[in-house]
């Protein structure tokens, strides 16, 4: 350490940094810290890796002990996930094998055949994933659009009882979902909203609105009023100024809000479990119920979870720059 | 171009006056500066003229047309903001064209106007850049172009140079002044910088604590301040104000031997204004005092400041009152040294300490 003060660092320092941050001691501590963070991240990601691997294993590989790290990838899990199958009789099996040799069977049929089964139709999962897409997508759009307008009003106008209203909006988020599911269930059955897409969209929109309004208000507060005022004296109406000037600058906030709303609506489990049964059931509760039916299909569950993960990962990844700014907003100087 | 009239215009926030009722007529083509410390109501006044702020009383006329309750977009007024308020998501060219698009001008006409205005402000090379990429001076030039492009009835500028560096501020000051001379546009300009106000204004409106203190051309505001506030606020350093006692044509500084003859033309006015009370405030600018061995006033040097071309001497004329005297930069004065000075009788002013108002003399000419 004393040596360092005389000789300086062994390598030239190219980044702008304080002197005390290039001493060997500090560097060492920093490296250890980084290592710990990486280790924690790896530990945290192990379940995800296991899930991805399991999704591409065959059934014997998936349940083998010790778990196989190296295996031949297979689409068995995917086939199990997406189809209904039944065990075929020996005669039928022989018939199918011949068809397979003659290249008359599709990929899915052949994979099913390897496990001694025959595909009888698509599984529920496909419909449920579609339900998830419809419900999460529409409720996200609805909550973001509503939030943009109300947050703008809260940010710019002297709304009567503004503080109370904002608190009331936030308070809808304070109750845990389990507490309100029972009354909601009763209301929904009365209103015939139980197990409907509309019912779920309304519910998720209401739940997301509190977060979305507060988030968007923060973003609008950050946009200086001068921009709108400039547009007003330049000959535009309030509405035109909003669409031409304010909205383009709020894109970051809108993107961040969209991701947060989408993640909530997509992942929501408790309401979906209680308030849907057949028609409008979304993916999260259906993956969980797969555990129950006729032995545990680990490969199918893993494939289902993976398929469920992908849309959110894509959206989040596409909007990641906005998201970072959204999470740190207020802390970053304009 | 237009004439702006404010009639008893006021702004209250609850019980608090942001602007007390004020009357002001700004003539066609005039450059009027609203000057005052922060929080004095000058920006609020400007915003009321633009329509961005509603009035709580009074009337605003634009060329005789009552615009008090018109939407900002219907007033035909351009506003230049301190922090430019250029739309960050569109190019400089689109920023300048933005007001014209609101009027539904043809594409060709818009292009033509943008070209003219950017040639006038010499910003043609910046047109394709986003505002965020430009320097403060260039951003303000584009903001000026956006204001000019529409040929509005009047320009309102809210401390447009406040966010710029000192040397750039001087350049831009000259540019805006030049622009005003070329365009001959009615302009209302808000600033807290009295040097800017003196340099640019045809007339200055000095405001303090929501109230108009004085309206007049720069020279008048400087040489004949209406009250103690204006005397202190204008000039750097401001006017020297010394409490004195008046008796028989002589103002005496209490507790000292210092006496100052009150010029004969002032005596009747002072006499009548004081109404028998002896207290008076003597005012003179730093450049109105001349150090000379035969001077009638004396004081002790408290500090000296070299200002470049001249020096400012801080002189203690009695135990607590320090006056500033402008001196030759080449002569050194030791701290604690006693100096004598006299005041140019043409430049001396008197104030009534009770009312804080200037005593006005009978004009002899």
Domain segments of chain A as ranges: 2-49, 78-122, 125-327
> Which residues on A lie below 8 Å from B86 (Cβ)?
230
Give residue A312's pLDDT.
Answer: 87
> Which residues on B lie below 8 Å from A235 (Cβ)?
73, 99, 102-103, 150
CB contact at 8 A, B314 and B303: yes
Q: Which residue of A has its CA nearest to B157?
A: A230
> Which residues on A lie below 8 Å from B89 (Cβ)?
248-249
β-partners of residue A83 are: A122
Give residue B264's pLDDT.
Answer: 86
Mean local confidence (pLDDT), B147-166: 89
Q: Which A residues 241-280 touch B at CB under 8 Å?
A: 245, 248-249
> Which of B51, B67, B73 to substitute to test the interface with A, most A CBs within 10 Å?
B73
Mean local confidence (pLDDT), B312-316: 92
CB contact at 8 A, A259 and A266: no
pLDDT averaged over every residue in chain A = 86
> Which residues on B lie below 8 Å from A233 (Cβ)?
50-52, 72-73, 75, 77-79
- Identify which of A261-275, A320-334, B206-220 has the greatest average pLDDT: B206-220
> Is B102 within 8 Å of A232 when comparing Cβ atoms?
no
* SS3 (DSSP) at A330: coil
pLDDT category at A188 given cuts 50, 70, 90 is very high
Segment among A20-24, B39-43, B243-247 with least mean pLDDT: A20-24
> Is B50 within 8 Å of A233 when comparing Cβ atoms?
yes
Q: Which structural domains are found in chain B, ordered by start?
A: 4-231 (3.40.50.300), 237-351 (2.40.50.140)
What's the gap in Å between the CA of A81 and the closest CA on chain B?
Answer: 47
pLDDT category at B227 given cuts 50, 70, 90 is very high
Q: Which of B73, B79, B150 sits opposite A236 (nearest CB)?
A: B73
What's the gap in Å between the CA of A233 and the closest CA on chain B?
Answer: 5
Q: Which A residues 214-233 touch B at CB under 8 Å?
A: 224, 226-227, 229-233
CB contact at 8 A, B207 and B41: yes
pLDDT of A325 higher than 90: no
> Which residues on A lie below 8 Å from B99 (Cβ)?
234-235
* SS3 (DSSP) at A101: helix
Segment among A42-46, B73-77, B200-204 with least mean pLDDT: B73-77
> With an 8 Å Cβ cutoff, is A84 touching chain B?
no
CATH class entry, domain A125-327 = mainly alpha
* Residues contacting residue B219 through CB under 8 Å, at least 6 positions apart: none
Mean local confidence (pLDDT), A87-92: 81
Segment among A104-108, A194-198, B60-64, B164-168 with least mean pLDDT: A104-108
Q: Which of A224, A233, A245 sits opposite B72 (nearest CB)?
A: A233
Mean local confidence (pLDDT), A262-273: 90
Give residue A331's pLDDT.
Answer: 44
Q: Which of B72, B83, B89 sits opposite A248 (nearest CB)?
A: B89
Residues A111-145 have pLDDT tens digits of: 888 777 888 888 888 888 899 999 999 999 999 99
Separation of alpha carbons A76 and B255, rounded Å: 107
Q: Which A residues 43-62 touch B at CB under 8 Å?
A: none
β-partners of residue B339 are: B299
Q: Which of A232, A235, A249 sits opposite B88 (nearest CB)?
A: A249
pLDDT category at B365 given cuts 50, 70, 90 is very low
Give residue B314's pLDDT.
Answer: 93
Bigger pLDDT: A232 or A291?
A232
In the sheet with B65-66, reading across from the earlier edge strand, the strands are B16-26, B4-13, B57-62, B65-66
pLDDT category at B364 given cuts 50, 70, 90 is very low
> Is A236 within 8 Å of B75 when comparing Cβ atoms?
no
Segment among A114-128, B23-37, B271-285 with least mean pLDDT: A114-128
pLDDT of A195 higher than 80: yes
Enclosing H/E stretch for B299: strand B297-306
pLDDT averaged over every residue in chain B = 90
Segment among A40-49, A115-124, B24-33, B60-69 with least mean pLDDT: A115-124
CA angle (A11, A13, A18) in 5-degree steps: 130
Mean local confidence (pLDDT), B17-21: 93
Chain B positions contacting chain A at CB under 8 Å are: 50-52, 71-73, 75, 77-79, 81, 83, 85-89, 98-99, 102-103, 146, 150
How many A-B residue pairs are in contact by the CB < 8 A criterion? 55
Separation of alpha carbons B149 and B158, rounded Å: 18
Give residue A102's pLDDT.
Answer: 76
> Is A249 within 8 Å of B89 when comparing Cβ atoms?
yes
pTM for this model (two decimals): 0.78
* SS3 (DSSP) at B88: coil
CB contact at 8 A, B170 and B178: no
> Which residues on B lie below 8 Å from A240 (Cβ)?
102
Residues B83-137 have pLDDT tens digits of: 889 998 899 999 999 999 988 889 999 999 999 999 988 899 999 999 988 888 8
Bigger pLDDT: A13 or B237?
B237
ipTM field: 0.81
Separation of alpha carbons B299 and B282, rounded Å: 15
Separation of alpha carbons B14 and B31, rounded Å: 32
pLDDT category at A294 given cuts 50, 70, 90 is low
Q: Which residue of A has its CA nearest to B103?
A: A235
Segment among A55-69, B54-68, B330-344 with least mean pLDDT: A55-69
Give residue A21's pLDDT.
Answer: 80
In the sheet with B186-191, reading across from the earlier edge strand, the strands are B77-80, B154-158, B186-191, B31-35, B203-208, B211-216
Neighbours of B335 (CB within 10 A): 10
Mean local confidence (pLDDT), B313-332: 87
pLDDT category at A2 given cuts 50, 70, 90 is low
Preceding amide of B274 cis, omega within 30: no
Separation of alpha carbons B117 and A304, rounded Å: 63
Q: Which A residues 90-129 touch B at CB under 8 Å?
A: none
pLDDT category at A291 given cuts 50, 70, 90 is low
> Is A229 within 8 Å of B72 when comparing Cβ atoms?
yes
Q: Which of A229, A240, A248 sits opposite B52 (nearest CB)?
A: A229
What's the gap in Å between the CA of A281 and the closest CA on chain B?
Answer: 42
């Amino acid at each position: 350490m004393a040596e360092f003060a005389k000789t300086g660092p062994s390598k030239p320092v190219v980044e702008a940094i304080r002197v005390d941050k290039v001493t060997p001691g500090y560097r060492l501590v920093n490296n250890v810290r980084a290592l710990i963070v990486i280790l924690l991240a790896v530990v945290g990601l192990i379940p995800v890796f296991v899930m991805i691997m399991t999704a591409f294993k065959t059934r014997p590989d998936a349940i083998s002990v010790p778990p196989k790290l190296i295996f031949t990838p297979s689409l068995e899990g995917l086939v199990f996930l997406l189809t209904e199958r039944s065990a075929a009789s020996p005669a039928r099996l022989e018939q199918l094998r011949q068809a397979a040799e003659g290249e008359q069977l599709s990929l899915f049929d052949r994979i099913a055949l390897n496990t001694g089964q025959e595909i009888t139709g698509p599984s529920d999962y496909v419909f449920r994933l579609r339900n998830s897409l419809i419900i999460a997508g529409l409720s996200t759009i609805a909550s973001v659009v509503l939030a943009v307008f109300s947050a703008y009003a809260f940010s710019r106008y002297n709304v009567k009882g503004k503080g109370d209203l904002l608190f009331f909006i936030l308070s809808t988020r304070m109750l845990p979902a389990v507490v309100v599911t029972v009354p909601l269930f009763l209301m929904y059955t009365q209103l015939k909203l139980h197990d409907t897409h509309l019912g779920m969209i309304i519910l998720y929109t209401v739940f997301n609105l509190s977060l979305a309004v507060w988030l968007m208000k923060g973003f609008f507060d950050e946009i200086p009023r001068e921009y709108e005022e400039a547009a007003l004296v330049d000959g535009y109406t309030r509405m035109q100024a909003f669409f031409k000037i304010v909205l383009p600058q709020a894109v970051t906030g809108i993107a961040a809000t969209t991701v947060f709303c989408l993640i909530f609506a997509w992942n929501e489990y408790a309401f979906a479990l209680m308030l849907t049964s057949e028609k409008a059931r979304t993916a999260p509760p259906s993956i969980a119920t797969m555990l129950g039916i006729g032995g545990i299909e680990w490969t199918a569950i893993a494939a289902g979870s993976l398929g469920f993960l992908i849309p959110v990962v894509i959206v989040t990844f596409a909007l990641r720059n906005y998201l970072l700014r959204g999470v740190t907003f207020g802390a970053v100087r304009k | 171009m237009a004439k702006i009239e404010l009639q008893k215009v006021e702004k209250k926030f609850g019980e608090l006056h942001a602007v007390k009722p004020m009357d002001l007529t700004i003539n066609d083509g005039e450059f009027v500066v609203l000057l005052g410390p922060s929080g004095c109501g000058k920006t609020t006044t400007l915003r009321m003229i633009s329509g961005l702020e509603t009035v709580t009383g009074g009337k605003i006329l634009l060329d005789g047309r009552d615009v008090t309750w018109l939407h900002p977009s219907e007033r035909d007024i351009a506003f230049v903001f301190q922090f430019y308020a250029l739309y960050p998501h569109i190019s400089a060219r689109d920023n300048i064209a933005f007001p014209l698009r609101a009027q539904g001008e043809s594409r060709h006409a818009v292009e033509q106007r943008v070209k003219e205005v950017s040639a006038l402000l010499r910003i043609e090379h910046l047109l394709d850049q986003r505002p965020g990429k430009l320097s403060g001076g260039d951003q303000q030039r584009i903001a000026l172009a956006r204001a000019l492009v529409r040929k509005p009835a009047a320009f309102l500028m809210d401390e447009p140079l406040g966010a710029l560096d000192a040397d750039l501020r001087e350049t831009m000051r000259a540019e805006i002044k030049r622009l005003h001379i070329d365009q001959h546009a009615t302009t209302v300009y808000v600033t807290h910088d009295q040097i800017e106000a003196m340099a640019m204004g045809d007339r200055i409106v000095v405001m303090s604590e929501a109230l108009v203190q004085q309206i007049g051309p720069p020279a008048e505001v400087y040489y004949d301040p209406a009250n103690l506030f204006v005397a202190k606020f204008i000039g750097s350093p401001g006017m020297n104000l010394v409490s004195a006692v008046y008796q028989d044509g002589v103002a005496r500084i209490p507790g000292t031997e210092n006496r100052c003859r009150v010029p004969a033309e002032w005596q009747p006015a002072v006499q009548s204004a004081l109404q028998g009370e002896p207290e008076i405030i003597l005012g003179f600018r730093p450049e109105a005092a001349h150090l000379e061995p035969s001077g009638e006033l004396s004081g002790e040097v408290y500090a000296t400041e070299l200002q470049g071309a001249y020096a400012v001497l801080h002189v203690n004329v009695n135990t607590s009152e320090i006056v500033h005297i402008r001196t030759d930069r080449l002569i050194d004065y030791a701290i604690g040294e006693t100096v004598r000075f006299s005041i140019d009788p043409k430049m001396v002013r008197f104030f009534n300490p009770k009312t804080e108002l200037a005593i006005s003399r009978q004009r002899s000419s």
